[in-house]
A and B are shown apart, each in its own frame.
Chain A
């Protein structure tokens, strides 16, 4: 037996032989494919929510906390030194039954064996001191002291009062109230919670400011209002490169068409520019909106082999014959060329959007700070230019008309999700420079609903810009 003939016989018999797979195999393949596709589909469609949800929740949490924090700002935490000779610049005094409060704060007092001097904060950020303290009753040695917070009109100036009292828990509460003095300060609608805790075997005074009801404010003459919360308005201008990711989806699963499209179309770097207004909502939270223009670029390189080109050549010559007359002879000829046609088209997908973003800022505002941005981007108008392949793989122009073709696109793609991280660099009191890498996920495809194929873009980008504080002069 010749090896070649035997082997070629086997090859001939088996190379193209196909017994056909039973149906259950195809069912299994289909099922697994659907499962994988669903998993991928789920991630593609809802994965962004999984990314955005913690960001939004985080922003919401910090927003909430930021508002909550304004109700309990620690003012001072000053150890009490019993041997102190009352050198504090601002000493509390408690006017006896000076004002009436709507709130009362109960602060436990630990057992005190040493004298302590109450020293209110001199932190300039919070208005250089303490204005008033509540009147109330207190009981020494582990009992609770109940203070009725007193409302005061904000005031910038501080009246430094000579410290005159060592506040001891061994003293009678009545005596405390009579002897303690107060320095006026500048908190807008705030009262104090005074407490003690044991720190390194010494008793520590603590003060906390609590905002009080506006209805019980007491005006003090000559007290200018002080900034109590952030009230900034920023103008942001930015521009930067974008990289887009394209997703195809279709109910008919035109694999060949998608493959052909992907093989001839290449993504190119896009860009976005915009202007935003940022308004502070809290100490660290802002809301942003503005106008954003972005452009996604693609290059379509279509190579058509065996392209035929017919060229017509017309040659005219003048013949002078013997009698002297001239004859005009016109010859027409054709020749056909066969070659490869290279066609390059640049597609532009342009979007004008209005972002609505929530921002949480953190870090050192005077050096480098960060901000988390999350929100929605609403498309105002979309317009496109270029060519795509139709189902017969011929280039057709992109239009925004209705219909079922492959070149029918939306003039508005609805809304999308936006998440970004801003890195801000302090430049001047009014100006910050920032870089913001971001992700944008468009919910709606750029193609029409009844198009042959759905085409959706997600964008990763970097925005570089500056932020100018429009209210800076007003506040400072």
Chain B
């Protein structure tokens, strides 16, 4: 669960704080768990919600997508298949905060744009645009990595 927190947090210290708060919530609300889903999933939801609460304290800034976004570059799967989990985490952590949170929620946690919009209190279109920008940012970063390795 610490990895989940790291993906949302500003740094590792904050991630640990999030994890601590989240587990205290888990202990406190353990009686509310209804055995309807997996226990891990329930804890994960608490962790994500706690992380979002922490992020909201920092006043998230979501940038709207610019019209000249350009076309997506084509990246060979071999360019990212060698990346380890740590590398991927670093890449994600390099994203601007708004992008990162939407990307985490949509891609890794599996929330829909509708759900993300309600969770973050933003427009659904904002969520979509943030995802597109995050995606493009990551593609560029992967390509940069590929080039540096080639050199």
Residue pair B19, A21 in contact (C-beta under 8 Å): yes
Tell whether A9 is near chain B: CB-to-CB under 8 Å. yes
- Give the size of the chain B interface in residues (CB under 8 angstroms): 39
7 A-B pairs with CB atoms under 8 Å apart are A1-B73, A3-B72, A19-B85, A25-B19, A258-B31, A259-B35, A263-B35
Tell whether A224 is near chain B: CB-to-CB under 8 Å. no
Tell whether B61 is near chain A: CB-to-CB under 8 Å. no
Q: Complex formed: what's the CA distance from A32 to B92 in Å?
A: 31
Interface-facing stretch out of B20-28, B49-57, B111-119, B120-128: B20-28
Q: Complex formed: what's the CA distance from A5 to B35 in Å?
A: 33
Q: Which residues of A contact B19 (CB under 8 A)?
A: 21, 25, 29
The contact string, 1 if C-beta is below 8 Å from chain B, for chain A 434-460, is 000000000000000000000000000
Tell whether B1 is near chain A: CB-to-CB under 8 Å. yes
Tell whether A28 is near chain B: CB-to-CB under 8 Å. yes
The contact string, 1 if C-beta is below 8 Å from chain A, for chain B 79-123, is 111010110110010000000000000011010000000000000
The contact string, 1 if C-beta is below 8 Å from chain B, for chain A 247-260, is 00000000100111
Residue pair B27, A33 in contact (C-beta under 8 Å): yes
How many pairs of residues, A versus B, come closer than 8 Å at their CB atoms? Answer: 87
Q: Complex formed: what's the CA distance from A9 to B80 in Å?
A: 9
Residue pair B2, A21 in contact (C-beta under 8 Å): yes
Q: Which residues of B contact A6 (CB under 8 A)?
A: 75, 77, 80, 135, 138-139, 142
Q: State which of B1, B74, B89 has its C-beta within 8 Å of the C-beta of A1.
A: B74
The contact string, 1 if C-beta is below 8 Å from chain B, for chain A 1-23, is 10101110111011101111110
Contact of A14 with B81 at beta-carbon distance under 8 Å, contacts A6-B138, A25-B16, A28-B20 already known: no
Residue pair A33, B35 in contact (C-beta under 8 Å): no
CB distance from A465 to the nearest CB of B (A): 36
CB distance from B100 to the nearest CB of A (A): 12
Residue pair B3, A18 in contact (C-beta under 8 Å): yes
Question: Of B79, B80, B139, which is in contact with the most chain A CB atoms at under 10 Å from its CB?
Answer: B80
CB distance from B21 to the nearest CB of A (A): 9
Tell whether B65 is near chain A: CB-to-CB under 8 Å. no
- Give the size of the chain A interface in residues (CB under 8 angstroms): 29
Q: Complex formed: what's the CA distance from A17 to B104 in Å?
A: 13
The contact string, 1 if C-beta is below 8 Å from chain B, for chain A 28-39, is 110011001000
Residues B29-54 near A (CB distance < 8 A)? 30-31, 33-35
Tell whether B133 is near chain A: CB-to-CB under 8 Å. no
Q: Complex formed: what's the CA distance from A28 to B99 in Å?
A: 31
Contact of A29 with B73 at beta-carbon distance under 8 Å, contacts A17-B85, A263-B35 already known: no
CB distance from B106 to the nearest CB of A (A): 8
Please name the residue on chain A nearest to B106 by beta carbon: A7
Residue pair A13, B88 in contact (C-beta under 8 Å): yes
Residue pair B139, A11 in contact (C-beta under 8 Å): no
Please name the residue on chain A nearest to B28 by beta carbon: A36
Q: Complex formed: what's the CA distance from A299 to B77 in Å?
A: 59
